[in-house]
């Protein structure tokens, strides 16, 4: 069955797209907002990344997934996901990392960018991704936005995000922006958050992880398992 909103399950909202975690989809009444810009803040590590892997992997025949990577190569990301049994082989990558270490590998599913500071080139690559997704629903992951915030000035990132956030939403995309906790000052996070439709916060409390989601008063306990994220 294609993941996402099922017509046989009327409790799910129509303006949602699967998070890739079935129990989380039920809590969110269908998944993340679609179209929408979604921010996930949490400690650096596999737990936060796993949410993006689930999201990108849960694409049906009428969907396409893209991952913009700034601190790991497409190969590394696919290998990490594979340790959880998550297959990202169908995803397309905008690789802003490999060229910075001189290890860019040409591939038909990879667009190579000179680095995280090449915002114009990244914007053009996003345009091409939107064109490639014509007629399909688009999922996009920024892994992680923190890398791009560190490589660019606040004004440059503000202008860049204001353009691509509107462009992606107009194209019907849902974009998941990963943010590393504790790296950025609160005023910068508040500035980024103004362009987001939903903000999720992953907290590590003594080795136990909790997810704060929009519209839910309590934090949701989650755990990393052999198959990725599990809602407890």
| Residue-level pLDDT at 1 | 32
pLDDT digits (tens, 9 = 90+) for 197-225: 999 999 999 999 999 999 999 999 999 99
Mean pLDDT of 110-116: 97
pLDDT at 52 over 90: yes
- How many residues in total does the chain contain? 232
pTM (two decimals):
0.93
pLDDT at 156 over 90: yes
Output b/e per residue, 45-73; b: 16+ Cβ within 10 A. Answer: eebbbbbbbbbbbbbeeebbbbbbbbbbb
Q: Are the C-beta atoms of 67 and 74 separated by less than 8 Å?
A: yes
Which domains are present in the chain? Answer: 39-196 (3.40.50.300)
DSSP, residue by residue, 164-196: HHHHHHHTT-EEEEEEETTSS-HHHHHHHHTT-
Mean pLDDT of 71-76: 96
Dist CA 148 CA 53 (whole Å): 19
Collect all residues with Cβ–Cβ distance below 8 Å to 102 and sequence separation of at least 6. none
Q: How many CB atoms lie within 10 A of CB 74?
A: 22
Report CA-CA distances (Å) from 16 to 68, 106, 117, 144: 22, 34, 32, 23
Token code pair at residue 102: 């001189």
């Amino acid at each position: 069955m294609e993941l996402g909103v099922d017509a046989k399950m009327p409790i799910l909202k129509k303006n949602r797209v699967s998070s890739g975690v079935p129990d989380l989809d039920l809590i969110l009444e269908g998944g993340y907002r679609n179209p929408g810009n979604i921010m996930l803040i949490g400690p650096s590590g596999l737990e936060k990344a796993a949410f993006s892997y689930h999201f990108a992997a849960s694409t049906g025949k009428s969907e396409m997934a893209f991952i913009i990577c700034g601190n790991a190569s497409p190969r590394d990301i696919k290998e990490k996901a594979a340790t959880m049994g998550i297959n990202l082989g169908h995803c397309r990558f905008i690789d802003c990392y490999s060229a910075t270490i001189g290890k860019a590998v040409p591939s038909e599913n990879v667009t190579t960018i000179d680095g995280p500071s090449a915002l114009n080139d990244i914007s053009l690559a996003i345009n091409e991704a939107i064109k490639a997704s014509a007629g399909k629903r688009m999922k996009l992951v920024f892994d992680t936005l923190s890398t791009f915030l560190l490589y660019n000035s606040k004004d440059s990132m503000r202008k860049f995000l204001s353009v691509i956030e509107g462009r992606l939403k107009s194209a019907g995309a849902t974009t998941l922006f990963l943010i590393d906790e504790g790296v950025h000052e609160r005023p910068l996070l508040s500035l980024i958050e103004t362009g987001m439709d939903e903000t999720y916060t992953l907290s590590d409390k003594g080795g136990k992880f909790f997810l704060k989601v929009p519209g839910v008063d309590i934090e949701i306990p989650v755990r990393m398992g052999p198959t990725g994220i599990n809602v407890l």
